[in-house]
Structure 1
Amino acid sequence: MVSESVEKANCLDIGKFVVRRGSEEMDMEEDEEAPTHLNTTNGCGFLVVSTDKLSVQYTANALHGHDVGAVQSNCPAPIRRLMYYFEIYIRDAGQKGTISIGFTAERFKMRRQPGWEANSYGYHGDDGFLYHGQGKGDTFGPKFTTGDTVGGGINYASHELFFTKNGKLVGSVCENIKGPMFPTIGVHSPHEKVDVNFGQKPFVFDIEAYMFEERQKQQRAIEKISLPLNVSHWIVRSYLLHYGYHDTLSSFDAASRSTCPPISVGGEDNDTNGTESSYALDRRKVLRELIQSGDVDSAIDKIKEWYPLLLQEESSTLCFLLHCQKFIELVRVGNLEAAVTYGQAELARFLGVKRLEDLLQDCSALLAYVEPSKSSVGYLLEMAQREVVADAVNASVLALNPNLKDSRGCLHSVLEKLLRQLTAASLERRALDGGQGEVFDLHRVLH
């Protein structure tokens, strides 16, 4: 039984604890290109675009319905965000004020108003109608003319198009928006002149407040979802058990004993009684406290005394993390000579191991700075790095439990499993929506 437990511990993938520099600050996806000016390469002959490509004027006589001058932005609206928004300022409404603002597909006919063709949308100033894919519009909002600022946006969360006038929301309409969609302006009578703002200057409409309200709406919807009584108590308790926070757990139990009776959550894998997570709780508490205080030598001694087989393989990831932390602690107290000697003796054997090379390089780089805590590798001297090592030791000890059903469960508490499920579900939902919408960022959600 002991050998089986050791085998589980040795097979445990604790590579997730080998953190990399700046890993928590990396963007989940690369930045998207956003419109910056009007496209002058696919326009029509009825308009003139200014040299800065931020103004357009109608110059024809508008003899019939196909004499429209439409112009798109230089690239489509970005889709990996909560919303996209732009504005136009009506410098001159011309003879008829047949100015429109909206969104069109890539191959839109530039001699037609936004909203007159399939997969295009337009809010028109001469009648205040909203057009979608046909020449007949629907009553939508007020007309707009010279001196007005009008905006158009896409709310990817609610699948809505929305339009504004002079800083106030006109309205929104729910559409099954499928990109790429280009911000588009249409002009159709002599002397009409429009300026466009793609964000190079402040918007008249408070788009930040509008996005905040959308997030609040989402939060209110989440808060309406009811949970079984005492679920939060069970999640917190299982977290404290999993990570060996013995003293906090005792205080938590004492404080909640009279108000939160035990909860039964269905399923064997839920470990509702904490039997798996309570394994070696006292010893895991001691090891965590030693590592958190920087006393790596004592932690290694205790592991050798209690769980000698964990350190039997000197090239294991667990040994690497412990030796790295010892090296870091020597640098922390300024004992660089001892750090160099220790690194040569204990870390050299890990050279060439690809999965460990980033952390190894960062540890070595600590020696290059007079004030390493202020350097690009200063994150290694923070308490968070001690927690990483303590978590790796904790998971390795839990994997020794002879009654353990699944060794992978040692890597994550119930709370973390729920957060991983939340992340996976959010990414899947976004994928089903064609990749549109805000990229899920767990840190932003939590903070």
Structure 2
Amino acid sequence: MPPSRYPAPSTWSRSLRGSASNANFLSVTGLGVKYTGPGQEDAQAASIRADHPVPADCGLYMYEVKIISSGKHGFIGVGYAAPDVALDRLPGWDGHSYGYHGDDGFAFTSNAGKGQNYGPTYKDGDVIGAVLNKAQRTISFTKNGMELGVAFSNVSEEVLYPIVGMRTPNEQILANFGSSEFISDLRGLQDDAAKQIQSQLQAVSVPTKGKAGSLMGELAFNYMLHEGLLDSAAAVARDVLGDVVQVTDQDRQQQQAQHSIQAAVEAGDVDEALRLTEAAAPGLLTTEPPLHISFQLKVLKFIELVRGKQDEAAMAYGRAELSKAAASLPDQEELQDALSLLAYDVPEASPCGNLLSPSHRAHLASSLTSAISVRQGRPAQSAIHRLLCHSVLLSEELTAIDSPAASLINMKDRLAEITNGPAPFQ
């Protein structure tokens, strides 16, 4: 999961230890808490909550409590509570409060001491994990790393704090808010929560019919056509879409032209690339925004002269062409990077040596062919590429408004897993 934008619980809040009469019943030392009160009746219970609530953008949160001593009767409660819950009672004995109690293993919430049978009791040495799944609106617990299942469903409170309460002498706990390794498998819990959301997403029905028949067939055809896989696109059109759409002669001519332009750029033959571009899309490189690509091609020509150790020719070309063409700030910055190559005996080893790499030429070739596609009336990206972009942007917007489900699924990471590599866009 990405780091939270909000402060997370890190210790106990000393200023919120209960009512005036019960505040001194808890001795707090760092993450440790000990009950020192008389512990003769329920009214002498005392609870303490963390310094911060569970972060709003955290889809699944867990903290753990180690039972140092169960004291006289082990009336210890571990759970979550809203900020307005009284702290002179055990967790779960008031509304908007949830607790798992060690003396009987019951789960309590808003029932004035009437809990539900939930899990095993706990005693000295046991470690209890409290898991808040905001995406599924549940609270569950673990004991010594073992998952005990959902204790509370339909948890609707927007703000909840980790909370621990005690009631009889010498009860003592030590909390872990993540400063040390958990006994429970937090990553596994997060993965399970993400799988639940993915399962829910996959269960949503989507249209299967498009304008030409199969929606998936149309997306596949559009992608193959855009990527220049024309024989495959023609097969999909024939076998899946019933020849409602076709690969035209114009498609093949445009593909061949783009392949030639891409090959020229990747070979560093800028003059040939410019000639082919003018033939395929007349006037393209004299308009905005492709005008910057035109400057990049001129810089590439300069770089190729440097690569060929033709420094004098490179400097003459730079004075005659590049200095006049660098109109914008990005152009000027790119020009300075290219000129810096002349200062090194081995330009490839310079800080801007990446300008001499095949990947730099490939990126420029892709930008140029994309601009040509737009000039010819075709989208710069395929339909499925745009859908993926929209999915990532939607996920990021949901995360920005603290959607618990979105915080559990990073769309870029998911796409990288699906494609066994980086996401197909940035």
Same structural fold, with TM-score higher than 0.5 when normalized by the shorter chain: yes
Amino acid at match of 2:223: Y
Q: For residues 68 and 121 of structure 2, what CA distance do their matches in structure 1 show?
A: 15
Match of 1:212 in 2: 191
CA offset at residue 143 of structure 1?
1.6
Match of 2:103 in 1: 126
**Residues 326-345 of structure 1 mapped to structure 2, 5 A cutoff:** 326=301, 345=321
Match of 1:346 in 2: 322
- For residues 275-304 of structure 1, give each alpha carbon's deviation from its aligned partner in whole angstroms, at most 9, with x where no partner exists: 799382221222223334444443223213
Give the secondary-structure state (helix, strand or coil) at the position aligned to 1:308.
Answer: coil
CA separation of 1:432 and 1:254: change in aligned 2, threshold 3 A: same
- For residues 249-298 of structure 1, give each alpha carbon's deviation from its aligned partner in whole angstroms, at most 9, with x where no partner exists: 32x3587688645487xxxxxxx656799382221222223334444443
- For residues 215-236 of structure 1, give each alpha carbon's deviation from its aligned partner in whole angstroms, at most 9, with x where no partner exists: 3344445555677496545423
CA separation of 1:78 and 1:370: change in aligned 2, threshold 3 A: farther
Task: Answer yes or no: is 1:180 the counterpart of 2:159.
Answer: yes
TM (norm. structure 2) is 0.77
- Contact 1:80–1:436 (CA under 8 A) maintained in structure 2: no
CA separation of 1:313 and 1:400: change in aligned 2, threshold 3 A: closer
CA separation of 1:151 and 1:145: change in aligned 2, threshold 3 A: same
Q: Which has the higher contact order (CA 8 A, sep 6+)?
A: 1
Amino acid at match of 1:304: E
Amino acid at match of 1:288: Q
- Contact 2:80–2:161 (CA under 8 A) maintained in structure 1: yes
- Bigger mean CA offset, 63-72 vs 426-435: 426-435
- Contact 1:84–1:154 (CA under 8 A) maintained in structure 2: yes
- Contact 1:238–1:274 (CA under 8 A) maintained in structure 2: no
- Bigger mean CA offset, 304-313 vs 183-192: 304-313
Q: Aligned-pair RMSD on alpha carbons? A: 4.0
Q: For residues 439 and 340 of structure 1, what CA distance do their matches in structure 2 show?
A: 54
- Contact 2:64–2:177 (CA under 8 A) maintained in structure 1: yes
CA offset at residue 147 of structure 1?
1.5
CA offset at residue 185 of structure 1?
1.4
Match of 2:143 in 1: 165
Kindly tell me the number of residue pairs found equivalent between the two proteins.
401
Amino acid at match of 1:317: H
Task: Answer yes or no: is 1:391 the counterpart of 2:397.
Answer: no
Of 52, 56, 63, 1:75 maps to 52
Task: List gaps (5 residues or longer) in structure 2.
Answer: 18-22, 417-426
- Contact 1:94–1:190 (CA under 8 A) maintained in structure 2: yes
Amino acid at match of 1:142: P
Amino acid at match of 1:131: F
Task: List gaps (5 residues or longer) in structure 1.
Answer: 1-26, 265-271
Q: For residues 133 and 340 of structure 1, what CA distance do their matches in structure 2 show?
A: 80
Amino acid at match of 1:240: M
The structure with the larger Rg is: 2
Give the secondary-structure state (helix, strand or coil) at the position aligned to 1:394.
Answer: helix
CA offset at residue 79 of structure 1?
3.5
Q: For residues 218 and 253 of structure 1, what CA distance do their matches in structure 2 show?
A: 34
Amino acid at match of 2:165: G
**Residues 262-411 of structure 1 mapped to structure 2, 5 A cutoff:** 262=242, 273=246, 278=251, 280-313=254-287, 316-323=291-298, 325-326=300-301, 345-346=321-322, 349-350=325-326, 352-353=328-329, 385-401=360-376, 404=377, 410-411=379-380
- Contact 2:234–2:247 (CA under 8 A) maintained in structure 1: no
- For residues 116-172 of structure 1, give each alpha carbon's deviation from its aligned partner in whole angstroms, at most 9, with x where no partner exists: 333222212122222223423222222211121100112233222221111111111
Task: Answer yes or no: is 1:249 the counterpart of 2:249.
Answer: no
CA separation of 1:81 and 1:411: change in aligned 2, threshold 3 A: farther
